Every structure is written in C-alpha cells, then in structure tokens.
Chain A
Amino acid sequence: MTPDLHLWLIPLLPLIGAAMNGFLGRRLTRQAIATVALAFCGASFAMALYVSLRFSGLAIPHMETLAPWIRSGTFQADFAFYLDQLSLVMLLVVTGVGFLIHIYSVGYMWEEAGFYRFFCYLNLFMFFMLTLVLASNYLLMFIGWEGVGLASYLLIGFWFTKDSAASAGKKAFIVNRIGDFGFLIALFLMIKHFGTLNFDRVFQFAATIDVENAGAGLLTAIGLLLMVGAAGKSAQIPLYVWLPDAMEGPTPVSALIHAATMVTAGVYMVARSHVIFERAPTALMIVAIIGTLTALFAATIGVAQTDIKKVLAYSTISQLGYMFLACGVAAFSAGVFHLMTHAFFKGLLFLAAGSVIHAIGGEQDMRKMGGLREHIPWTFWTMTIGSFAIAGIWPLAGFFSKDEILWRAYQASWVYWLIGVFTALLTSFYMFRLWFLTFFGEYRGTASGHSIVREEAPSRSGPPASPGHHGIHESPRVMLIPLAILAFLSVVGGWVGIPGSLGGSNRFDRFLGPVFRATAPALNRQPAAPGEVAPSEQTTEGLEPHTGRGTELAFAAISVFAALLGLYLAWLLYLRRPELPQRISAALHGIYTAVSNKYYVDELYAVVFVKPLVEGASRVLWRGIDQGVIDATLDNTADAARHVSDSLRHMQSGNLRSYAGWVAAGAAVVIAYMIWTGAR
C-alpha cells in the first residue's frame, strides 16, 4: 500500500490562485493580489518539499490517479500523476525557482496597471508547467505542454498595447505550433503502434523493441517527431527564432518561462522518453547534432547583441543546446543536471538584468550602461556570481554540469567536444562582455540626473520607471532576496554532481540512475555506433574506477581555461581597450553585419515560409477559394432567388380574375398533358 501524497494538489494550487486573481483581482489591492499569488505558489512549493521528504519511502515510480479521463476500448488516459526521480527534480526546480521569481515579480511589477493580470498568468503558467512535469501519460503532458505555450503567449504579450510585444507573442505561439505538430504525430504513432500513451506502458512496449541500429524504424520516427516538438518548445534550430523576440515580455517572465522552466520542457520530454531514444541511435545522433549546432550558432549571435536581455536570450538557446547535446549522447542525467543548474544561474542572470533595467529606468541597451558597479552593489555581486557560474568557472554550478556534458560528449565524438568547448569560450566571452559593459567603465547613459531614458520601454507601462524614482537606484529588498537565494544556489547547485574524478561521487547522476538505467537497452549486445556511448553507461555509475581520470581532469582544465580565455578577451576588448571592438568589427565587416543581424535567419524565414504562406493565403485561399467559391456560391444563389422571385412577383397582382386565369391556365396545362400522355 503506497501512501497517497495528493500529488494533484501541486498543480491545482496555483490554478486556484490564478482563478482568484483572474476573476477577483480587479477589485483587490496589490497587497492582496501578491498575497494570493505567493500563497498558492508557495503552498505548491511546500507540497513539493513535503513530497521530496516522503520520497525515499515510496515505491518508484509512484503513480496516483485522480480521475478517469478518456477510456475508449483498450485506450486509456487518466488524470494521473507520475513521480520518479526525474519528475521530482523538475518539480523542485519549477516550484522553487518559480516561487522565487514570484517574489521578485512583486517588486518588479508593483507599478504596473495589470498587476493582477500578471500574477494570474504567472500562476496559470505554474499550473500548466506542473501538469507537464507530473503527468503520467503523454496526453496529459501535452495539455501542460500546450498550456505553458498559452501562458507564454499571454505573458510575452503582457504589454499588449505595444505592437512588437503583441507580435512577439504571436510569433512564439505560432512557431511552437509547428513543434507541437511533430509532437502530436509522435503521439498518434504511439497510439497506433502501442495502443497507449501511459509512460509505463509505452516504455514497456518500447523496451521490447530491438535497438534500431540498421536503418530507421518506428522508434526513430517517434524520436525524431518528439524532437521536433522539443525543438519548438526549447528553441532549438530551426525553431529557435521565437525566443529572442519573447524578450518583449516583462523580465521576470523571461527569467521564469524563457530561461528557467518552460524552455527546458523539451529537455525534460526527451529525457522522459529516453527509452525510445536509447533504441533509436539515428534519432539520438540528430538530437546531439541539433544541440551542438544550436549551442554554437546561438552563442555566436549572442556575441554581437547589444540588448542585455537579447544576449541572455541567445545564451539560453545556447545552453539549451548543451542540454540537447547531453541527451543526444545518451547522457540524460547530465542534461537534466545542466537543466537544473541553468535554471538557477540563468534565472539569476535574468532577474539581475531586470534589476539593472529597473535601476536605470527601463534602458536595455548595454551601450548606454556602464559603471553601475558602485550604484547597485547587490545586483552587481549576484550578477557576477551568475556570470561566473554560466561561464563554467570552478567551483560554481555551471562548471560541474557543463563539464559533465562536455566529458560525456567527448566520449561520443571529439567533434561534439570541440564545438562544445569553443561554445564555452564564446559563452564566457559574451557573458563577461555583458558584465564589463554593464558594470565597469564609465556610465554612458543619460539617466544619471533626473531624466529617465525610456527608449525601449512601452509608453503606457514597461520596466518600471516611476516618476518617484530618480537616477540610478538599487532595487527594493523584495527583489534582492530572490537574487541572493538564486546566487547561493548558483554557487552550491553544482556540488550535488561533483564527478568522481574531482573527488565527488556524482550523487545527482546516481539519484537519477534508476530512471535512466532501469530500462536501458542491452547495450552490451550493441556494437558501438557513432553517436552512441555504450561503454560510458557503466563508467559514470562508479562501478569501476575511471580509466580516464587524468584525461577527465585535463578536459576540465581545458574548459576552465576556455572560460578564463573568454573572460580575458572580454576584459581586453571591452575594458582595457574599448576602441578595439570597433576596429575588429570594421575589419570583419561582412561577418560582423551578418552576426549582428542574427544571420538574417528571421529574414530568410520571412521570405521562404511566411511570405509564400501569407501570399498563398491571401491570393488562393482568401480571394480564390473563400471569395471566389464559397462566398460566390452563396451570393449567386441568393441573387438567382431574387431575380426569379422578382419576375414571379408580378403574378401576385391582387386581381382576383388574374388568379382565376392562372388557375384556368394551369388546369388547361394539366388537361393538355393528360391528353398528350393518353394519346401516346
């Protein structure tokens, strides 16, 4: 008899909060709104903590069914929740980071007119995200998946009077739909071939299928389609274009949805479906390639961005690429590890960036910042920790997770590793570029006196710059406390996964072990295929001593060196000799223009996909089919009826004798007809 933990409460509590704020928020005071939002989100976090306390006493995976949902023949999908090590990690990350960001938002959004609306959406997002994480079948997961997309759309377009925000929301939603299409087809394939969408049953079926070494089969198809879905949600090539635009939303939203939680849903989904991916080496290899390319590609774009949030957005895409690289080399626990540490330090970086923007009155252009170190020390120090963590400098969180991924990637192929290290160098470079541009040197903006630059901020509202605030000012305590907690987590978060070569025992990998190894395919039977890491499955379990301990240490040293090199280059270019970037960009004119214009990918998509679609829709579907066929049929039918009745109307003269005449004529016709037929 397993205990009933009432897992359904965890997602439902934020939904109640969302409903209360959504329906009653207009009449509530700001204090009441904040209390409701924080209370329900906090209760959810408390539940998650309670569950993690009871976790060791549970039979894993622990499943709870709330209510039956769809039962049709043998197909069955219930409102059921699935708790194992993987969902527990996700649960704690989502509720924990989510709660901190809720607290931060109270300070950040205080001046906003749509305060209640914001918290309603934010709680709604928590509901869907927790549904996604806890679902015990793909269908319920899909509900959460779509729901977070909805919440993301609503929050990106939070300042809906601003045209760019509204269209950014639409872009995010539409690009996500493309991914969801792949996800849905994968679900249909599962229903057709497995007859179920419940995780345990699907994985049982999948486990009976042999590894698809030669050629591609059903599992490869399902895996690739799931990856399409993941690429949409997690902003991977080729569907990453929505994430940078999503920065139009309020900064806490960028931190929560577009850095820490929602965009990692794709990684979670791939890790959750690891049974399928492990048996489809081709799909795995494509995941790894997409991840690697995205990591590199986004990092190069991030180097040339000038908007502080855009840099972080491309950085997020790049880090997500790392996670997919990890999944692609079957190092799922490393991917989830990076997911967790990334949630800490990227959430921190976004919140700190928000605090910077808040401090200088809504300015987001780094070229107009500088020298903010002394004015906003708390923000400066927490952002420093975040930057060092993401750059992967020992002993902060990013180092351990990134190093784990790079090491596992190297075991699969040195190409992945090389690109990964180069990306780490770029990561470090653009992060410290941001750091130096923002906090060091001379202040280049104009907000120091009493004027406030509101160039990027929407006119009605926006990153708060209330008339009461003048000059550069540190954020209120309600914003600084989450920053401090996240900074703390960014420091220690990696220590749960210290690898064996550095004297740790990689507890994180071991904790997740039962999820990823219980159903692992018989890898011994399988010859080492490219993109497959058969031998390493055992090595990280610590069952045998590391054969390449020295090598692993050397690789760790190389990553740290790359990070420090990035730091040095950023220091050289943006602090020591600030005239150099100009000269370099002038020398590399073509490349620099391409990079700073994001490789013209948006323009390419506009020409290749959007324009034909819009043209086709307006010419063929609208003018051709809708107006030409559907509307025309209706119009012409109505016209014909009117013309016929126009002529028939004259029969209704009101003259009695003309009626009698018609009757007589009709009778004559009938008689003539009968005589004619009788005569034949």
Chain B
Amino acid sequence: MVPLSYYLVLSGILFACGVTGFLIKRNIITIFMSIELMLNGVNLSFVAFAAHWHALSGQIFVFFVMVVAAAEAAVGLAIIIAVYRTRETLNVDHVNLLKL
C-alpha cells in the first residue's frame, strides 16, 4: 500500500511544474499544456484522498474536472488556431493588441 503522502507529493510536484511552465513559457500551446498539467496534479490529489477516505465524491469531482478540461481544450485549441491564422505567431507576448 503506497502511503497517501507519496501521492500528495507527486501531485504537488506536478502542480508546481504546471505553474512554472505557465509562468515562464511564451508559447501558447505550452502554456495550455501547463494548465492541463496543473489540472491533472489536482485530479491526482482528488483520487488519492478519495481512495484514502473511501469517499466517492472525490472521484466524481475528478470526472467534472476532466469534462471541463476537455471542453476547455476544445475551445482553447480553436482559439489558438484562430490566433495563429491571423497573427502567424504563438508567442503570447506578441498577442497584445488589447493592452494599452
């Protein structure tokens, strides 16, 4: 039996990787993947707790997160394609028309 803390540490590492990637990367696709990484880090801790406490609600939550993430991925990728078609770049620092 793997102890709970291992899962939580792994979950924290995954989330931290996601945050770091989100903060330092400039490519939209990479940022997008970092977000997915953070979501999955959270999902991991959800299922870990659910297994540990034998509570079903954690697993239900994970399904919700996955559904939202799938929907987000669909919309997000569509936006990314649209951005690339008009701007011919995926660097977020160059997509700044709305900035003052």
* Interface residue ranges, A against B (CB under 8 Å): 654, 656-657, 660-661, 664
Q: Is the CB of A657 within 8 A of B22?
A: yes
Contacts of B52 in A (CB 8 A): none
Say whether, besides A654-B99, A654-B100, A661 and B23 are in contact (CB < 8 Å): yes
In the complex, the chain B residue whose C-beta lies closest to that of A664 is: B19
Bound-complex Cα distance A661 to B23 (A)? 6
Bound-complex Cα distance A660 to B19 (A)? 9
In the complex, the chain B residue whose C-beta lies closest to that of A656 is: B92
Bound-complex Cα distance A660 to B24 (A)? 10
Residue-wise interface mask of B (3-36) relative to A, using a CB-CB cutoff of 8 A (1 in contact, 0 not): 0000000000000000100111000000000000
In the complex, the chain B residue whose C-beta lies closest to that of A653 is: B99
CB distance from B7 to the nearest CB of A (A): 17
Size bin of chain B's contact surface? under 10
Q: Is the CB of A664 within 8 A of B99?
A: no
CB distance from B36 to the nearest CB of A (A): 15
In the complex, the chain A residue whose C-beta lies closest to that of B25 is: A657
Q: Is the CB of A660 within 8 A of B99?
A: no
CB distance from B95 to the nearest CB of A (A): 10
Contacts of B19 in A (CB 8 A): 660, 664
Q: Is the CB of A660 within 8 A of B23?
A: yes
7 closest pairs, A vs B, by CB?
Answer: A654-B99, A664-B19, A661-B23, A657-B23, A660-B22, A660-B23, A654-B100
Q: Can you show 13 pairs from A to B with CB atoms below 8 A apart?
A: A654-B99, A654-B100, A656-B92, A657-B22, A657-B23, A657-B24, A657-B92, A660-B19, A660-B22, A660-B23, A661-B23, A664-B19, A664-B23
CB distance from A177 to the nearest CB of B (A): 60
Contacts of B92 in A (CB 8 A): 656-657
* Interface residue ranges, B against A (CB under 8 Å): 19, 22-24, 92, 99-100
CB distance from B50 to the nearest CB of A (A): 21
Contacts of A660 in B (CB 8 A): 19, 22-23
Q: How many pairs of A and B residues are in contact by the CB < 8 Å rule? A: 13
Contacts of B24 in A (CB 8 A): 657
CB distance from B81 to the nearest CB of A (A): 20
Bound-complex Cα distance A242 to B68 (A)? 89
In the complex, the chain A residue whose C-beta lies closest to that of B26 is: A657
CB distance from B15 to the nearest CB of A (A): 10
Bound-complex Cα distance A654 to B96 (A)? 9
CB distance from B73 to the nearest CB of A (A): 19
CB distance from B65 to the nearest CB of A (A): 18
Contacts of A661 in B (CB 8 A): 23
Bound-complex Cα distance A660 to B23 (A)? 7
Bound-complex Cα distance A656 to B100 (A)? 13
CB distance from B85 to the nearest CB of A (A): 21
CB distance from B92 to the nearest CB of A (A): 7
Bound-complex Cα distance A660 to B21 (A)? 11
Bound-complex Cα distance A664 to B22 (A)? 10
Which of B23, B24, B100 gathers most chain A CB within 10 Å? B23
Bound-complex Cα distance A559 to B72 (A)? 117
Bound-complex Cα distance A656 to B23 (A)? 9
Bound-complex Cα distance A644 to B23 (A)? 27
* Besides A657-B92, A664-B19, 11 new A-B residue pairs in contact (Cβ under 8 A), listed by A number: A654-B99, A654-B100, A656-B92, A657-B22, A657-B23, A657-B24, A660-B19, A660-B22, A660-B23, A661-B23, A664-B23
Bound-complex Cα distance A661 to B20 (A)? 9
Bound-complex Cα distance A660 to B22 (A)? 8
Bound-complex Cα distance A664 to B100 (A)? 24
CB distance from B63 to the nearest CB of A (A): 25
Bound-complex Cα distance A236 to B24 (A)? 90
Which of B19, B92, B99 gathers most chain A CB within 10 Å? B19
CB distance from A664 to the nearest CB of B (A): 5
In the complex, the chain B residue whose C-beta lies closest to that of A671 is: B12
Contacts of A664 in B (CB 8 A): 19, 23
In the complex, the chain B residue whose C-beta lies closest to that of A667 is: B19
In the complex, the chain B residue whose C-beta lies closest to that of A668 is: B19
In the complex, the chain B residue whose C-beta lies closest to that of A663 is: B19
Bound-complex Cα distance A657 to B24 (A)? 8
In the complex, the chain A residue whose C-beta lies closest to that of B24 is: A657
CB distance from B30 to the nearest CB of A (A): 12
Bound-complex Cα distance A664 to B99 (A)? 22
Contacts of A656 in B (CB 8 A): 92
CB distance from A318 to the nearest CB of B (A): 82
Bound-complex Cα distance A661 to B100 (A)? 20
CB distance from A202 to the nearest CB of B (A): 76
In the complex, the chain B residue whose C-beta lies closest to that of A658 is: B23
CB distance from A297 to the nearest CB of B (A): 80
Which of A654, A656, A661 gathers most chain B CB within 10 Å? A656
Bound-complex Cα distance A657 to B22 (A)? 7
In the complex, the chain A residue whose C-beta lies closest to that of B93 is: A655
CB distance from B19 to the nearest CB of A (A): 5
In the complex, the chain A residue whose C-beta lies closest to that of B12 is: A671
Contacts of A654 in B (CB 8 A): 99-100
Contacts of B100 in A (CB 8 A): 654
CB distance from B11 to the nearest CB of A (A): 13
CB distance from A154 to the nearest CB of B (A): 60
In the complex, the chain A residue whose C-beta lies closest to that of B99 is: A654
CB distance from A666 to the nearest CB of B (A): 12
Bound-complex Cα distance A660 to B99 (A)? 16
Contacts of B23 in A (CB 8 A): 657, 660-661, 664
In the complex, the chain A residue whose C-beta lies closest to that of B96 is: A654
Contacts of B99 in A (CB 8 A): 654
Contacts of A657 in B (CB 8 A): 22-24, 92
Bound-complex Cα distance A656 to B24 (A)? 11
CB distance from A251 to the nearest CB of B (A): 74
Bound-complex Cα distance A404 to B19 (A)? 108
Bound-complex Cα distance A452 to B100 (A)? 77
CB distance from B31 to the nearest CB of A (A): 8
Bound-complex Cα distance A656 to B25 (A)? 12
Bound-complex Cα distance A660 to B100 (A)? 19
In the complex, the chain A residue whose C-beta lies closest to that of B92 is: A656
